[in-house]
Structures are given as C-alpha cells and as structure tokens.
Amino acid sequence: MSAKIALITGGFTGEIEISLKSAAFVEQKLQTSRFDVYKIILTPESWYHVDDAGIKHEVNRNDFTLSLKDGLVKFDLAFIMIHGSPGEDGRLQGYLDMIGLKYTSCDTLTSALTMNKAYTKSLLQGIDGLYLAPSVCLSPATRAVSEINVKNELKLPYFVKPNGGGSSIGMTKVKQLDELSSAIDRALGTENAGKQVLVEEFVSGREFSVGIYNSKAGLKVLPATEVITTREFFDFEAKYIPGLTKEITPADLTNEQQGRVEQLVKEVYIRLNCKGLVRIDFFLERETDKFYFIEINTIPGQTETSFIPQQVRAAGLQETDFYTELIEQALVE
C-alpha cells in the first residue's frame, strides 16, 4: 500500500508564494506509485486540500485528516514545505507532535531555536574553525541602549535584519550611522518575524550555501553553491528575480576549503540537533580564509532553480530518489 503523504505548504508570511512554488516542484517529483501525495495549503483563515475536480476540502484540525468522497484520509507523514511561519518556526511541528504525525523537518525545539538568529549564534559558539560576526540583538524595549551598543561595539557597515525572519525580507545594509534607525524600523516592521532585530558587522567575502541531510548511510553533505550577486547583498530581489544573481554549483573551492566546510556543516547540524534536510550559509572572508556562519534554513527552497535541487543534481542524484530517501528516513526515525 502506498504511503499517504501530506505535502503541507502555504504559510502566514510574505514567503507564501515561494512555498507554493517549492511544493509544486516537490509534488511533481513525488508522482510515483510509492506515495499518495495530497497537497495541503495552510493560510491564517483555512487549512485545505483541493481535489482533482477543483473541490476544496477542509482539514480536520483535531487529527489532521481529510474527508473525501472515497473515504477518510489518514496520513503517514507530513512533508513540510512552508518557508517562514508556521512551517519553519516550530509551530506546525508542535501541532504535529501533539497529534502523533511524523514529519520530514527538524523537531519543534530546533525549528524554533534556529528561526531565532541570535539564539542560533549563541548555540554555535565554540565550534572549532567556525567564526561568528560580532552582533547586537535589540527589541523595542531595549532599543535606545542597544543602538548605543551598536555604535560603540560594532564597525560599519552593518547588516540589520529581523531576528526571526527569512528570505532576507526586511534586511538592510547600513553604511552610515544616520541610516541605522530607519533600518531598525524596517526590520521591526517585518510581518510575522518577531519583535527583535539583529545588527551584525558586515563580513567581506565570498558567499556559499551548503545542504546537508541524514541519509541511509548517515550525514551527507551536498556540493556547495557559491552566490555572486550584482546587488549590495543577497537580498529578496536577488534571490527571486532572474538575472540578478549568478549561482555556481559545485562551488570553486580548494580541496582543503571543501573539506573544512563539510566538517563545519556536520558540526552545526549535530550541535543544533537537526533532522532531515537543512541548508547552512557561510561567508568565506577574503583576507583571512575564515568561514563565517550566516544562518541556517531548516526548510530550504525546492523550486527547479533553488540551491538544494542544484546541489542534488551536482551530486549525481535524481530529485525523485532524493525526496524519496528523505521520506523513508522520516518514516523510520
């Protein structure tokens, strides 16, 4: 009997359109006899599935089942494909834990912690060879004092970003002190990203993104992608507007650099108690050859041109086989 998979997408943030595109790609690759895939869309107003006839069916939120004309659908696994809240911040995972439904992503605690950039950096302190840009985290209540700390403790330029956001939404590169206040306002005003702001020193270097997942044979690191953008930094527009960014997979790294980043990725994955597939981003500082941690993404994008599908293909794998392995591993964990 085919396993019944709830491919959960949608979301509560500005990343909803990217989530829908990622889910469409995954759904296409999972059209095999091994799985019965039902796309479930979550919005603040409704959780629903649309059948082949175009009829909308609400999910029973008591047990996450679907009542269709052919009978009641009880799922074996949730394949989470929501970028941002509630799929990436632990809220959905907490619900799934309570009803006893397995899922493909990191658990509730890891998802919640890694959505908080300041907490994540605190947990990663002490990993040999991993560097963290100096930073200050502020909230509306501490803003006045924290702005003084930023000016006293950090060197320009700064990256100012929501502490709990994704896709670089609400992020600003600050080159002059008189730009700081408006950048903080922008970050604080980002929808569903929490009410904290992280201000970091800018690291000048090459940018890389690396996928890692728990395979049947243990942790497997995918080939790195180098990101080269014509923008000031890899912002939302650079990520999703064609032509603004060049992505090189596999990245041009020396054998020593490749071995070093693979070890760092594994260390981060283990330290944060990750599960399934995650993507970790780094800067390689030009002057020092040091790898600086940027962030971790526990629900990486899965469109045709996203980093992870690029890396899967560069590793010599087929996307269908890759997603199948993610599902099989989640079912036995």
Burial class (CB in 10 A: 0-12, 13-18, 19+), 201: middle
Q: Which of 178, 133, 154, 166 is nearest to 301 (CA)?
A: 166
Tell me whether residue 214 is annotated as binding: no
Rounded Cα distance, 293 and 288, in Å: 14
Which entry of 15, 88, 200, 325 is annotated as an active-site residue? 15
> Residue 50: how many CA atoms within 13 Å on its side-chain side?
6
Among residues 310, 282, 311, the alpha carbon closest in space to that of 220 is found at: 311
Residue 325 marked ligand-binding: no
Contact 213, 326 (CB under 8 A): yes
15 included as an active-site residue: yes
Q: Is 109 in a helix, a strand, or coil?
A: helix
Active-site residue identified among 167, 200, 262, 325: 167
| Catalytic-labelled residue, pool 22, 306, 319, 325 | 306
Per DSSP, 71 falls in state E
Task: Note if 207 is an active site residue.
Answer: no
| Residue 262 appears among annotated catalytic residues | no
Q: For 271-274, which contacts have Cβ atoms below 8 Å and span 24 or more sequence positions? A: 271/123, 271/124, 271/127, 272/106, 272/110, 272/113, 272/114, 272/120, 272/123, 272/124, 272/296, 273/106, 273/107, 273/109, 273/110, 274/106, 274/110, 274/212, 274/298
Residues with Cβ within 8 Å of residue 144, at least 6 apart in sequence: none
Query: Is 297 known as a binding-site position?
Result: yes
Phi/psi at 331 (nearest 5 deg)?
-70, -30
CA-CA-CA-CA torsion sign (188, 193, 194, 200): negative
SS3 77: strand
**What is the SS3 assignment for 265?**
helix
Q: Which residues participate in the annotated binding site?
A: 281, 295, 297
Question: Among all residues, which ones are annotated catalytic?
Answer: 15, 167, 306
Q: Which residues participate in the annotated binding site for Mg(2+)?
A: 281, 295, 297
